[in-house]
Amino acid sequence: MNQELVLFFHSVWMGAVLLLLYDCLRIFRQILLHSSLFIALEDLCYWIFSAIYIFGEIFQENRGMIRSFVFIGILLGMLCYHQSISPVFVSFFVKILGIPVKYISFEIKRLLFFIKRCSIYIRRHSIWKKKRLAGIEHNKKQTKKKKAP
């Protein structure tokens, strides 16, 4: 009975840890926007990791015997974490980690604007130069025609 109780509390802890890791993934998604393909791949990797982690813990703690109260404990741990700490944790870290990301994205946009303006200037200048050279060539041909008769 004592070992089952320890295993149950350990499974509650596993559920809370797994949801904490998923909250870290949610924070990452809110800070850096992803396409639905990358979100699906992240979820797939998370659930594969979760399955391996749960199997490893059950194998280590209970010699691989699957008990229903372990899964109930995992769900209870996830529920308790989700109802208590999760909203505060996610909103806090999204705000804190969002500040440098916003600053960096602003600087990147500024740099790209500068590069774009320089490329427009270079293109305009080269087109103007080509037109000017073409005009000079045209004027030379005109003067040669006038001198020829």
The one-digit pLDDT tens for each residue of the chain (149 residues) are: 788 888 899 999 999 999 999 999 999 998 888 889 999 999 999 999 999 999 988 888 887 787 888 899 999 999 999 999 999 999 999 999 888 878 888 788 777 777 777 776 676 666 666 666 666 666 666 666 666 55
Q: What domain range is 67 assigned to?
A: 1-84
Q: Which two tokens stand for residue 18?
A: 């797994």
Residues 66 and 6 in one domain: yes
Residue whose token pair is 């924070």: 27
pLDDT at 76: 96
pLDDT at 104: 82
pLDDT at 148: 55
How far apart (Å, rounded) are the C-alpha atoms in residues 74 and 15? 4
How far apart (Å, rounded) are the C-alpha atoms in residues 89 and 24? 9
Residues 103 and 80 in one domain: no
Residues 8 and 69 in one domain: yes
Cα R_g (the chain), whole angstroms: 32
Residue 90 falls inside a structural domain = no
Which domain-ending residue is among 61, 84, 107?
A: 84
Residues 38 and 80 in one domain: yes
pLDDT at 49: 94
Q: Which two tokens stand for residue 8?
A: 């149950």
Q: Which two tokens stand for residue 109?
A: 């946009």
Residue whose token pair is 């200048």: 125
Residues 69 and 27 in one domain: yes
Which domain-ending residue is among 37, 52, 84?
A: 84
Residues 75 and 29 in one domain: yes
